[in-house]
Amino acid sequence: MKKWVTALIAVAVGAVYCALLFWPYPKRIDVPSERYLCYFEDGSKEELDYGEACRYLAGVSEEGDILLLRNGVSGMVSANSAMREAVRILEHADTAELIYHDFDVGRLGRAALLHAFGDRLYCDGDEFYAYTGVRVTRTSVRSAKEFRLLGKLPADALRCTGAILLHVYSRAELDPAALTGTSVTITADPPYVVREGGLYLETVSGVRLVAAEPDMTQLHVENYAFADMGALLPCRSLCSLDLPFLGSDAYGGTESVGELAYLFCLDGGYFVPDTLKKLRVRGGTVTETAFYACHSLEEIDLCGVNAEKIERRAFSGLDLKLLHTPRADVLLTGSYDSFTAPCGCTVYRKIQEVTS
């Protein structure tokens, strides 16, 4: 019986072996090798395959060229129409174009776009989007190097990303308080404009100060017509500030005109940074409450302000080391020497007490 079973197994194995010998194997399908003509800055040009080109990827240009860096030598693969359109959309498009474009740019193009734009988060109100290497899809708030604002900025969104770059699109709405606690450099599309760290909105009624970059320590603010409440609130390390006037607008249309703390206001509270020591004001009105909640100020320069628009009690309670003012009869707390400056203003310098 055992011999019979053994023989049967041997016959079966032999049959299977013979069948495998004559079984047709599937044909190998060769994937065509993708090759790309690359131009290098040293004047050379060379065809690279996909793997080589990916190894040297350095991003994309504004025109959509794929940028390479090989052994310290820059190069590029020239953009085709699909890459030019893809870069345009990722840089300047609205939400609808971003999420519905198919980004059919080939393997190297997709890799280059992911290299350049993969660490970017788009925000349109409460919705967030990111390029995945295939298309732009909806996502949750996540860490990102660059934050692109297309709509209203949610209160804590920017802080959650840890972004160091913020780009403000023309349709964006920015609450300056949402920048507090971040460390971003700001760029913008018209009608927004960034000058010397200040973000402004150009309107038919005049230039409006919207916000400023949080890491500013010295800020020269251009001649704006209006300022948003709390526009400078994000600047928690501000040491020196130069303003065209104090308060919200140049025309005296609100009760907060002439008050510095308006620019650092949040929900009715004033948060002027303790680091702010020097202030220069070039015009406008200086009210009796101009420096309310500004106890850290040590030097104030009002040269350029009309003397008749300066309240003489505006400086009461401040521990100033120096005051430069066109009004000579102001009230100060403490003992001061004074002299007339070449511009005609009176300069008050605090007398330092000598301790034994």
Whether the upstream peptide bond of residue 26 has omega within 30° of 0, thus cis, is no
Give, for 6, the enclosing helix (H) or strand (E). Answer: helix 2-22
What strands, in cross-sheet order, belong to the sheet with 192-195? 192-195, 198-203, 206-212, 226-227
Counting Cβ atoms within 10 Å, is residue 33 exposed (0-12), middle (13-18) or buried (19+)? exposed
CA 252, CA 9: separation in Å to the nearest integer?
A: 104
CA distances from 324 to 84, 90, 351 (A): 56, 50, 15
Provide the phi-psi class of 171: left if phi over 0, else alpha when psi is between -120 and 50, else beta. Answer: alpha
CA 200, CA 221: separation in Å to the nearest integer?
A: 10
- b vs e for 58-85, b when ≥16 Cβ sit within 10 Å of the residue's Cβ? bebbeebbbbbebeeeebbbebeeebbb
DSSP 52: H
CA 206, CA 191: separation in Å to the nearest integer?
A: 11
Q: Please report how many Cα atoms fall inside a 13 Å half-sphere around the Cα of residue 323, on the Cβ side.
A: 27
Interval 334-345: pLDDT, tens: 899 999 999 999
Indicate the pairing of strand 278-281 with strand 336-340: unpaired
307 near 327, Cβ under 8 Å? yes
155 near 175, Cβ under 8 Å? yes
Task: Using DSSP, state whether 16 is helix, strand or coil.
Answer: helix
What strands, in cross-sheet order, belong to the sheet with 278-281? 218-220, 240-243, 278-281, 299-301, 322-325, 346-350, 336-340
DSSP 283: S
Q: Which pLDDT does position 28 carry in this prediction? A: 46
Q: Which pLDDT does position 21 carry in this prediction? A: 47
Q: How is residue 217 written in tokens?
A: 């320590």
328-335: Cβ within 8 A, 24+ apart = none
Residue with tokens 């690359």: 38
Interval 111-165: pLDDT, tens: 999 999 999 999 999 899 999 999 999 999 999 999 999 999 999 999 999 999 9
Per-residue pLDDT for the chain (356 aa), expressed as one digit of tens each?
555 445 555 545 455 455 444 455 454 444 446 799 999 999 999 999 999 999 999 999 999 999 999 999 999 999 999 999 999 999 998 999 999 999 999 999 999 999 999 999 999 998 999 999 999 999 999 999 999 999 999 999 999 999 999 999 999 999 999 999 999 999 999 999 999 999 999 999 899 999 999 999 999 999 999 899 999 999 999 999 999 999 887 665 554 568 999 999 998 899 999 999 999 999 999 999 999 999 999 999 999 999 999 999 999 889 999 999 999 999 998 899 999 999 999 999 999 865 55
333 near 318, Cβ under 8 Å? yes
Task: Using DSSP, state whether 58 is helix, strand or coil.
Answer: strand
Phi, psi of 315 (to 5 degrees): -105, 5
Q: How is residue 107 written in tokens?
A: 């393997």
Q: How far is residue 108 CA from its own chain's centroid?
A: 29
The structural domains of the chain, with segments of one domain joined by +, span 35-81, 215-356
Residue 123's beta-bridge partner residues?
128, 149
